[in-house]
Amino acid sequence: MNARAHPTTPDGRYFMVAGRLWRSTNPAIPEERRHRLVVELMHARRAVKDAKRGNGDLRFARDRVDAAKVALGERGPVWWGDGAPDLNRHMAKNTPYAEWAGALKKCATEH
């Protein structure tokens, strides 16, 4: 499990929330840079919230969120190089991770 307490696929490419896959941060990003990007992402998300309340430019704030997520590897080109497709936002049950996700669900119902 990752820091968010959501299960992470065996290859580390995604974490799963409510059966949906979300692309993980590129693990090759150095810790210091990753930290700076996460801080920027949080600032950008706050800017989106403020802009929705009429305090700022919503398009600019959303572009900042997108830029941070691309830099983290969570959007944009995939960070792995084996040619596997990007399954971000797909339901795990409809992907090659279906068996893994099913095993998690089965394990959760047994406990």
| 5-36: pLDDT as tens digits | 899 999 999 999 999 999 999 999 999 999 99
Taking each helix axis as running N to C, give the angle between helix 58-72 and helix 31-52, from 0 to 180 degrees, rounded to the nearest 10.
Answer: 160
Pick the closest to residue 69 from 14, 21, 23 (CA basis). 23
With a pLDDT cut of 70, the percent of the chain lying above it is 93
pLDDT in the model for residue 110: 66
Query: At residue 76, does pLDDT exceed 60?
Result: yes
Judge whether 60 and 74 are in contact, CB under 8 Å.
no
- What string of DSSP letters covers 43-101? HHHHHHHHHHTTSS-HHHHHHHHHHHHHHHTSSSS-S--S-PPP-TT-BGGGSTTHHHH
Name the average pLDDT for the chain.
93
